[in-house]
Structure 1
Amino acid sequence: MTTTKTLALACLLAFAAPTFAQQTVSAEEQAMLEEEARLEAEEAALDDTPRLDPNAPDPAPAFPELRPVLEDFGGREGLDRLMDTFMAGLLTDERMGPFFANSDQERVKRQLAEQFCAILGGGCEYSGRDMKSSHAGLGIDRADFNRLVEVLQVAMNEHKVPFRAQNNLLAKLAPMHREIVTE
């Protein structure tokens, strides 16, 4: 084979190799790669978005007097376990599932645990955005908000969080409906 033919064949293989490699990736692997890219883009967009609107209410105001209530939840570790149950409930719920199916569920669980821990006087720092910015454009109505609370109550009951402790937390979360409900 001549040098020219060898070079032409090498160039053809070099251009065809990426196409061939893409064809060997299964549809499932391709979907996973696309989802990873989407999540990375979403995370990058969040990094560019101001974390807190200076005009929005604090999404995680600390109530040090509620520190004993945090212990009723099992501390920060208990909140982390609660969020696993809560997210599972949200995903299986007919009404709530669509809101969370394509979200970064690990991030949502982490930020909810941080938020609850901060509110309950645990000294945790909330790393999420304000409620209005976080929920803008999602089309959340009052029934959606109420259903989320119901799913949270089921999760808290599963974790045997005392009713009094549940009410203390829910009383602090309830006013957030003003920033979350958009419809």
Structure 2
Amino acid sequence: MTPPPAAVLLDRDGTLVHDVPYNGDPALVRLMPGAIELTTALRTRGVRTGVVSNQSGIGRGMLTEEQVAAVNARVETLLGRFGTWQVCPHRPEDGCACRKPRPGLVLAACAALGVDPSDTVVIGDIGADVDAARAAGARAILVPTERTLPEEVERAPVVVADLHAALAVVL
């Protein structure tokens, strides 16, 4: 039996909560199946948790940082506190280092949690999550949704049906 990773980083939209494009309304937050069980089990085993989330709605002027923070607070109300929230507010065309698929969010989360990326797992629903994990030197688990492209599934090193299955792989 292998020890659990030091940290698990989760994408927000489409992974922890149902994806509502450019959501700035905490009332619209609905958990994905298995999110409570996953986060509870990780914390019970002493695994640090964090969220890494692209939020280009801020850069596009569709959301404020305060709205994103309110949605994130609702997620924590439902799932408990995360050790770090790393949010990229930039548009894709801005070319920042933090926006997934680049590794910036994952590296910043690992630094905030005091863990090595090589002892970290990133769980997400699209190829950008997997690519960011790999670029940072972390392991990746893809939990596809209806918006996940077939080629993203084919490229992912580990693909599971849902968060319950992800938990079985992580622990």
Q: TM-score, normalised by structure 1?
A: 0.26
Larger Rg: 1
Question: Which one has a larger percent helix, Structure 1 or Structure 2?
Answer: 1
Give the TM-score, by structure 2 length. 0.27
